[in-house]
Amino acid sequence: MVIGIIFGALLITGLTVGIITTIVKTQPSLVKENIPEHLGVLNHVPMQPLLSQLNVALDDEYIQQVKLRFLKENPQRSEDEFEWLLFELKRYFLVANILKKAPMFSEDIDEISHEMILFTKYYQSFSEGFLGEMLHHIPNTDSKPAPQDRAFFDWIFSQLFQITEFSWKTWGSFFNHPLSGETLKEFKESSIEEFVKAKLIKD
């Protein structure tokens, strides 16, 4: 139901080049005070239930332990940088919840998830509380992921969130790959539920 509502809102916005206007360049400074509120979710996207679910599932003590370990293991990283990476990782978790499967395209963001996994009890509790099952980690061993995987990720991401300069830095360039004609045809011919189900089965 939630997925249908979110995808409905996304489809209403259309598949246009206008998605690039979501890029935010007014706050380039890498300080945690500049992190957008509500994970930078766009105003037209009904994401509040999932945001609340994510906040409840991510225990504050858990995140503090992850943060302390990450900064100890990476002394060259600042606290502000950790907060920005965590911000993007939380957005990834939202995408993973909606699609039930999402590739990880950022080594920097993946570093935070690696630290999270080390706290096994917390990680299992978070996974089951937010996703309903264990979120297993599959390393991305291919430096050049399948273009359609990245194209679909870029489209979903841009329809859900503001794309900040830090997003470009950590996820890499967006919109380098167009959605395939087959995917666009599925959008046109399928209901939201049918499209999501077909996408999940294919992947």
Q: How does DSSP classify residue 18?
A: G
Query: Is there a domain that residue 36 lies in?
Result: no
pLDDT, tens only, 19-78 = 444 444 444 467 888 999 999 999 989 999 999 999 999 999 999 999 999 999 999 999
CA dist 112 and 170 (Å) reads 12
Q: How confident is the model at residue 200 (pLDDT cuts 50, 70, 90)?
A: very low
Instruction: Report the Cα 30 to chain-centroid distance in Å.
Output: 19
Instruction: Output the pLDDT for position 144.
Output: 64
Indicate whether 91 pLDDT > 80.
yes
Contact 145, 203 (CB under 8 A): no
Residue 164 in any domain: the answer is: yes
Does residue 117 fall inside a structural domain?
yes
Q: What percent of the chain has pLDDT over 70?
A: 73
Question: 139: Cβ–Cβ under 8 A, 6 or more apart, which residues?
Answer: none
Residue-number span of the structural domain to which 65 is assigned: 2-11+41-133+145-202
- Asked if the structure places residue 94 within a domain, the reply is yes
* C-alpha closest to that of 56 among 145, 153, 128: 128
What pTM was estimated for this model as a whole?
0.79
Give the integer Cα–Cα distance in Å for 102 and 28: 27
Q: What is the pLDDT of residue 17?
A: 38
DSSP state of 146: -
Count of domains observed in the chain: 1
Distance CA 201, CA 16 (A): 26
Alpha-carbon distance of 193 to 50, in angstroms, equals 18
In this predicted model, what pLDDT tens digit does every residue of 128-157 receive, in sequence order?
999 887 776 655 555 566 888 889 899 999
Which residue in the block uniquely carries the two structure tokens 């870029």? 154
| pLDDT over threshold 60, residue 201 | no
Residue 125 lies in a domain: yes
- Residue 13 has, within 13 A of its CA and on its CB side, a CA count of 22
Higher pLDDT, 122 or 143: 122
